[in-house]
Amino acid sequence: VKIIYQNSDLILAQSESFKKHLKKNYKIKNKVFTLHHPSDYNFQKYNYKKNKYFYITYAGNFGKAQDFNTMLNAFKSEQINKNVKLNLIGSGKKFNYLKNEIKKNKLNSKIILSSFKNKNKINKILKNSSAFFITLNEGKSLNKTIPGKFQTYIAYGKPILICSYSYLNNFIVKNNLGLASKPNDTKKLIYNINKVFNMNEHNKKKIYFSSKKIYEKLFEINVVTKKLEMYLYMAKKKYVNKNLL
C-alpha cells in the first residue's frame, strides 16, 4: 500500500479524517485531497408534515460494521415516546438476528424491519421520515469513514442521529445536522431520540438550512464533478511538467 501511495500522482480521500491519516502515516504532502462521494438525490424541499408517528429511518447494510444493540436497548426501555417508531430497511448478515431480536423482545409495534426497496420507494419513505439513523462500530477505518447513506440522508434536510466513535460524530454536531452518541451509551441515545422528537419548528428549520449548506458545498453532484476535474487537471499538469524535466 505504501508503494502504491508513493507512486501515485493523485490520491483522493473520502473524508478529511482519511486525508489527515494518509498525510501523517505515509508522509504524503501535496498530492492528497478530500473528495466526498456525491449524493444520488437532489436536495429536497422542506417537508415536515405532522404525522401520527415519528419515524426514525435507517436504510443500509445490516452487518458487523454496524452497532444495532444500542438502538435495540433504547427501544426496549419505556423512556422513548410511544409515538416514535424505528424503520429499518436493508439487508446483510444481521438481518435475521434483528428479526429474531425484535420478535423475542416484542418490539414489533415499535420497530419495522424490511428488505431493500427500489429508489422510488426509498425516496417516499425518506420524505415521510422525521429523522435518520447512522450507526458504526469502532475500527481504525470505520472511525474515518463517511458511510454512503449519509449523502442520501443529508439531501432531505432532517435531523440525523448517529451512534459511533467516528469522525462523522463531530462533523454532524459541528455543522448542526443532528445529534451524536457512542455505541453502548443507551442513555445518551434515548436522550437524543427524545430531544429530536420534541424539537420545535425553528430548530428543525435550522437543521434543514444547515443540511442544505453542507450538501451544496460538499455533496452536490456538479460541485463534486468540478472538483474532480480540477484535481485531475492539477495531477496531469504536474505529471507532464515532471516528465519534461
What are the tens digits of pLDDT across the range 119-136? 889 999 999 999 999 999
Per-residue pLDDT tens for 11-55?
A: 999 999 999 999 998 988 889 999 999 998 999 999 877 778 999
**How far is 112 from 133, CA to CA, in rounded Å?**
14
**How far is 92 from 146, CA to CA, in rounded Å?**
19
| Contact call for residues 137 and 183 (beta carbons, < 8 A) | yes
Task: Give me the mean pLDDT over the 56-64 stretch.
Answer: 95
Task: Give me the mean pLDDT over the 68-77 stretch.
Answer: 96
Of 197, 53, 27, 46, give the one whose Cα is nearest residue 112. 53
Mean of the per-residue pLDDT values for the chain?
A: 92
pLDDT at 244 over 60: no
Give the model's confidence band at 245: pLDDT under 50 very low, under 70 low, under 90 confident, else very high. very low
> Based on the number of CB atoms within 10 Å of its own CB, is 139 exposed (0-12), middle (13-18) or buried (19 or more)?
middle
What percent of the chain clears pLDDT 90, i.e. is strictly above it? 80
Task: Give me the mean pLDDT over the 151-166 stretch.
Answer: 96
The whole-number pLDDT of residue 141 equals: 83
The whole-number pLDDT of residue 243 equals: 60
Task: Give me the mean pLDDT over the 91-111 stretch.
Answer: 96
Q: What is the pTM of this model?
A: 0.91
Task: Give me the mean pLDDT over the 49-76 stretch.
Answer: 92
Task: Give me the mean pLDDT over the 186-195 stretch.
Answer: 97
The whole-number pLDDT of residue 203 equals: 96
The whole-number pLDDT of residue 54 equals: 95
